[in-house]
Structure 1
Amino acid sequence: MAALAWLLIPFVAAVGAGLWGSWASRTRRVRSDGPELIGYARFREAMERSRPSEEELRP
């Protein structure tokens, strides 16, 4: 029975490696950068608005 347990260890490892390999090589769908770019543009606009104008900087 102990020999059977020692044979199951490499078998389980091989099955796990096969599952991981199939998951790692899966085809990933390409996401568009649209929402991220829109958010970045909104961030830049907000940062531009929060800058003081040159008139406010002059003493």
Structure 2
Amino acid sequence: MASLAWLLIPLFAAIGAAIWGSWAARDRTQGDISELAGYARFREAMGKADEVKVKAEAHAGHSGSDAV
């Protein structure tokens, strides 16, 4: 009976390794796609913020005020 217990240890280790291997090799591309879309929205928002800042600075420069 003890020898059977010693044979079960590598069997459980092999089953655990197979489960871990299948989990580690899973397809995770869907998460990457949503993250890339979020990054594109972030860049677009930052671009709009820069445009607003440039327009505000241009408008302030034409107003004639010398406030710095």
Normalising by structure 2, what TM-score? 0.50
TM-score, normalised relative to structure 1: 0.55
Q: CA RMSD in A?
A: 2.9
Percent identity reads: 41
Over 4 Å off, 4+ runs: none
Corresponding letter in the other structure for 1:36: Y
Residue 60 of structure 2 is matched in structure 1 by none
Pairs aligned (count)? 52
**Bigger helix fraction:** 2
Q: What letter matches 2:37 in structure 1?
A: G
Query: Based on CA coordinates, which of the two structures has the bigger radius of gyration?
Result: 2
